[in-house]
Copies of this chain bind each other. A is one copy, B any other.
């Protein structure tokens, strides 16, 4: 038996998120089907990050076990032939049998992208959140620094979160505007709560558009109350960039 780790990229626009569910097509379902088809028996993957409906990934991670003799690194090509075009395996590799994508220690990297200008760009609408009011990016970057470190992120988690603890560590966060008016919130941490990055993005947009006072993010964090933070920003701006093990 061999455990295989897959690096999975996808355009989440047309899917009801990562995780298999009874109503609606999911990325994991498509992946399980492709693998079962390739190896001729039912295969169920274990995913690292259960991204939400409409959220994208450049490097989500999934594992599965197989007794196939195909070299693990060749599998990406064979799996891709059986996947829809909007899901692409970037890498397949053998890992040890005890490797678990969700329980292993990780650094997860997410980016939330906002197009901040007068009119939308049709070539970016699937992969950025369009926001036309001017955003003060240096202020957003400054506010965001309050989130760095180990904290109770209750204020920045969906009230529907199912978790034993709201304590997570954010290693770094930055907010930058590029020459095409795309603002990127880049955040790295040891794990994220349900909707955490989107609530951080929604809160930073409130701060950056002058709708909250300086210190808003720090206060929201300290309140340990979902009501104290901003709204959950829409899914199209969010990309799971990579997971480092």
Interface residues of A (CB under 8 A from B): 9-11, 56, 58, 76, 80, 85-90, 119-123, 125-127, 239
Contact = CB atoms under 8 A, between A and B. Distances in A.
9 contacts: A9-B119, A9-B121, A10-B122, A11-B125, A56-B123, A58-B123, A85-B122, A87-B122, A89-B119
B239 A123 contact: yes
Q: How many copies of this chain are found per oligomer?
A: 2
A93 to B, nearest CB: 14
A66 B126 CA distance: 34
Contact of A80 (B56, B89, B119, B123): B119
A79 to B, nearest CB: 11
A11 B122 contact: yes
A11 B119 CA distance: 14
A129 to B, nearest CB: 13
A122 B87 CA distance: 6
User: Which of A87, A89, A119, A123 counts the most B-chain CB atoms under 10 A from its CB?
Assistant: A123
A188 B86 CA distance: 32
A89 B118 CA distance: 11
A58 B121 contact: yes
Given A56-B122, A88-B121, 19 more contacts: A9-B119, A9-B121, A9-B122, A10-B122, A11-B125, A58-B121, A58-B123, A80-B119, A86-B122, A86-B125, A87-B122, A88-B119, A88-B120, A88-B122, A89-B119, A90-B119, A123-B126, A123-B127, A126-B126
Contacts of A127: 123
A87 to B, nearest CB: 6
Contacts of A119: 9, 76, 80, 88-90
A58 B119 CA distance: 12
Contacts of A9: 119, 121-123
Nearest to A121: B9
A122 B86 CA distance: 5
A120 B89 CA distance: 9
Contacts of A86: 122, 125
A9 B120 CA distance: 9
